[in-house]
Amino acid sequence: MKASIWLGKDKFEVRDVPIPEIMDDQVLVKVKKVGLCGTDVHITQGLFPSTPPKILGHEFSGKIVDVGKNVDKNNIGKRVACNTTSSCGNCHNCKNWTISRCSNEIKSSGAFAEFSAMPLSSAIEIPENMSYEVAAMTEPASCCLSGTEMIGYKDDSKILIIGSGIMGILCLKFVKQKNIGYVVVSEPNPLRRKMALEMGADFVIDPRGENYQEDLEKLKGEYGFDVFVEAVGNPNLLAEGISHLGPRGQALMIGVHPEMSNLEYDLYDLHYKEIRLFGAFGRGDSFSSVPKIIESFGLEKLVTRTFNLDEINKAIDLTAEGNGMKYMISP
């Protein structure tokens, strides 16, 4: 099969490699669509730990084309969203943390390739009318669902989201399912501001606009926002958003911050206002339930463009520049 091999930094090379062998309880998936993730970008920038050579790609969908001897052959032909790891359900992490942090996990093989091997439990059948593009968003959507479910919502919650890239939009869709007051999205990119409005934001503001602070003060009201979601991965934006929270406000970190980065914030204010800060990383226990939930979200419009395997660098550059919404790879 053909696969794009990451060789370190921003170097990729398409090579002919053996199709992954499947174990008795595994399935072989023909990869249809792979989403470019901010983590893929961070890996090439040295901001997220990973060791080359490696086949990257972890947001993907496809069709089961072969099964191990312990797997029912009726699974062949199923259209699936692919989880990047399995879970045993019995280890300390599965029972006390989340199943996505299983100590006995079996990883799916990288998706920037024509085929991927994984345990059957990692291949979640998708709704009949769901596109492979939307199914490939199951992984980031499960991260956002897992994170936004940490929040305690009130009926009149005022919510601020900074960043309306793919993670900000997905968080927006999930919080809008709650019985809340309204959601404000702060985003400098006009295309992404427009998308936030189309996807349900009640108010969208430009942090580079002349009236930004004035608009923000009006929207947060006398006591401040109840919930803040940082969907960029920028410590300065995290500190800014926390400063707009009211008493017992809740801040959720969905954007992945670089290792060894620090939060510069007045800890007395955090202490005095009894602010709660949630770190959210990974799919939690949400992956298998997400395809049916996002089926009605209208996520097709988030796909900006699809590239071939040998165009990964172009897709990564565009993702890093913040152009468009979601880029896909079609092996």
> Three-state SS for 102?
coil
Q: Take residue 1 and report the two structure tokens written for it.
A: 């099969």
According to DSSP, residue 58 is labeled -
Structural domains in the chain, sorted by start: 2-142+283-329 (3.90.180.10), 151-279 (3.40.50.720)
Q: Please name the residue that has the structure tokens 């709650």.
A: 178
Neighbouring C-beta atoms of residue 301, cutoff 10 Å: 13
Model confidence over 276-306: pLDDT tens digits? 999 999 999 999 999 999 999 999 999 999 9
H/E element, 166: helix 166-175
Tens digit of each residue's pLDDT (9 = 90 or more) over 167-192: 999 999 999 999 999 999 999 999 99
pLDDT at residue 323 in the model: 79
**Residue 238 near residue 228, CB atoms below 8 Å:** no
Structure tokens at 189: 């990119």
Question: Residue 176 and residue 45: Cα distance in Å, rounded?
Answer: 34
**Is pLDDT above 90 for 27?**
yes
Give percent above pLDDT 90 in the chain: 89
d(CA 150, CA 162): 18
Strands 276-279 and 59-67 come out as unpaired
| Furthest C-alpha separation in the chain | 64
H/E stretch holding 315 reads helix 312-321
The pLDDT value recorded for residue 126 is 98
Nearest to 122 by CA among 329, 291, 287, 3: 287
pLDDT digits (tens, 9 = 90+) for 225-278: 999 999 999 999 999 999 999 999 999 999 988 888 999 999 999 999 999 999
pLDDT of residue 16: 96
Which of 139, 115, 169 has its CA nearest to residue 304? Answer: 169
pLDDT (0 to 100) of residue 172: 98
